Structure 1
Amino acid sequence: MQKHDVYLYGMTLVTTMHLLKGDFPEADEYREIRESHVFPGGETGSCSIVLASLGCSVKVDGNHQGRKTTELLQKHLVERFEVDMTRVYDDPTFDGVEDMVIIAGHTRNGFGAFGAYYSDSVKRWNAPVREDIANADVVGLDPFFMEQSELVARICHELRKKYVTIDCRPETVMHQYCEVNIVSGEFLRRTYPDQNVDDLFKTYTDSTDGLVIFTFGSREIMYGRKNEPIRRITPYKVKVESTLGAGDSFKAGAIYGVFKKMPDEEIVKFAAATAATVCSRFPLALNPPTLNRIAEVMNQA
């Protein structure tokens, strides 16, 4: 079986994206659309583009594809970026997973049917294959597929494979065994609206030997490990074209950092610069970050 630098398990979909002129409108107001595109999206789809652009060989698995998504993902992920999607199931009875995002400067609003997707009695995602994890150097794990996502974490732990995950609660197996858990401010606000962030950070670091990172958009990033003081860095400043894909590219940057065996501070800085690079250009699929561009962002700080 072919080896890959990175194995990604999670959500890959097709995103219709509209970039507006000016700010997001109030109710009953009008805005011009500056650009529109239809490209691969989702936490794993976007992440795979970034990692491929950085020179990694990538294999993905996760949700099923269908009539409205397979052809476009084949064209962009497989043919352009040489992402291995051979494990992904193409269901001829299913449209596939799509969403729409409207972007205006630092703001973006997503629209989809994920509630219906997850409430369907048919679970349209694959169970992970142990050999795929065994044949990767590092793993990226989305937590959205219930016991199958947890199984990826357990297999990684058994095989001593390092993995990067996102938005996992501290009591989960996925958090416990992780090398890195990147927790977004959006997830923290939604899940722990009344908790002190510093106290919550300690709860997270006490629950794993891995690196914990809290991100808050353009505000300070918090990071650290068990029995260490909280460390903080300010995200890199760029002229923002679009924030779509920022979190996914931060995850990709962290995966790359783990793959390259970077120390914690370098992982966080590299991930932040990767996200900043994506924010400075639109769309991600046509302007993926490169190592040279990421170095430029880091050197301008």
Structure 2
Amino acid sequence: MNKGAEVYLFGQILATRSILLRDGFLKPDEYSEISEQYFLPGGETGTAATVLSSLGVSVIMDGTHIGTEVAPVIKDFYKDKSVDLSLLTYTDDPGVTDTVVIAGLVRSPMGRFQTLFSTGERWWGIPKEEHIAHCKAAAIDPYFYNESLSAAEICVRLGKPYVTIDCVHDSYLHRNAAVDVISHECIDMRYPGKTVEEVMALMQAWSDGLTVITQGGGEMLYGRRGGEIHRMAALPAEVKSTLGAGDTFKAGCVYGVLHGMADDELVRFASACSAVAISRFPLPLNPPTLDEVREVIEKYA
């Protein structure tokens, strides 16, 4: 294990088949021409690791068990990057993959996650104190039940700030996060009928950390307990693919926490990371660099 890793990441690590269509999204009974397709690392944690490495951050990641179909992709891709794979568990089954069809602003992910979660079996790793003790910050996907909770509890116990995503207001992960990034999909699912301002106020009331609500290309809301709701426009970009935009925003937040950024600076930095990410495809082969992010900030912020 590389004890020099700055950031610990826990969550979904997949191999993603991404298919970019040439002339608009799929239509029933109509032919669609494929422009580009790839089989590369993905998942919320896999993508965050790729982006953070490109930004010059060393990471160690754990989460989804890596099967025989996924392992060669993961090992080959990260062999020359600042991403430590020593915590990953390798299995004899094919492993977890997904497929995403993309056309500009529209995408449709497909997988077998409902089936996998319904088995009741654990197909992900178990966080331990020694995994996190030498890191300066962490990011935790909330999907792995007790293990996601355990990762957050370890971070709190060790005094390590962590970033998470789409956690409800009264959850342990939200209440103790340095940053919780809430997507509009989460609001639609978890808080139907509530306005984004109502959800924001609820989130603020339950955490001293920073809550950020993203709305795709729309206005972002952010704030902390006892403070006002701040707003920031998403930075403009020519969209080629939105795949990985949210995961890149999370990575930008992790970078901001790691470097002690103030709230405004952190949100702007994360937004710039996403703006760069959606302007190219595939993201894993073209992740945003620090110079590119700074250039976007200087141009538009």
TM-score, normalization by structure 2: 0.97
Give the conservation status (yes or no) of the 8 Å contact 1:101–1:108: yes
What is the rounded CA distance, in whole Å, between the counterparts of 2:124 and 2:37 in structure 1?
29
Helix, strand or coil for the counterpart of 2:297?
A: helix
User: 1:293 is aligned with what amino acid?
Assistant: E
Q: Which residue of 2 aligns with 1:149?
A: 148
Question: 2:165·2:182 contact (CA, 8 Å) conserved in 1?
Answer: yes
Contact kept, 8 Å, 2:217 with 2:234, in 1: the verdict is yes
2:145 maps to 1:158 = no
Give the CA deviation at 1:88.
0.7
1:134 and 2:120 equivalent?
Answer: no
Cα displacement string for residues 49-79 of structure 1 (whole angstroms, at most 9, x for unaligned residues): 00000111110011111111011100002x1
The within-5 A match list for 1:190-229 is 190-229=189-228
Gaps of 5+ in 2: none
The runs of 4+ residues in structure 1 deviating greater than 6 Å are none
Structure 1 vs Structure 2 CA RMSD: 0.9
Q: Secondary structure at the match of 1:4?
A: coil
Q: Which residue of 2 aligns with 1:52?
A: 53
Aligned: 1:254 with 2:256 = no
Alignment TM-score, normalising by the size of structure 1: 0.97
Structure-1 residue corresponding to 2:87:
87
Q: One-letter code of the match for 1:80?
A: D
Aligned amino acid, residue 145 of structure 1: F
Tell me the alpha carbon deviations over residues 127-174 of structure 1, each in whole angstroms, 9 at most, x when there is no partner: 101111111000010001001100111111111110000000111100
1:211-257 residue CA offsets vs partner (Å, 9 max, x unmatched) = 00000000000001111111011111111110000000000000000
Check the 8 A contact 1:22/1:105 in 2, yes or no: no
The Cα shift of 1:22 comes to 2.3
In 1: Cα distance, 2:246 partner to 2:152 partner: 21
Cα deviation, residue 82, structure 1 = 3.4
CA distance in 2, matches of 1:177, 1:191: 19
Identity percentage of aligned residues? 40
Aligned residue in 1 for 2:42 = 41
1:1-301 alignment runs, 5 A limit:
2-77=3-78, 79-92=79-92, 94-301=93-300
Structure 1, gaps ≥5 residues long: none
Q: What is the identity, as a one-letter code, of the residue corresponding to 2:50?
A: I
What SS does structure 2 have at the residue aligned with 1:36? strand
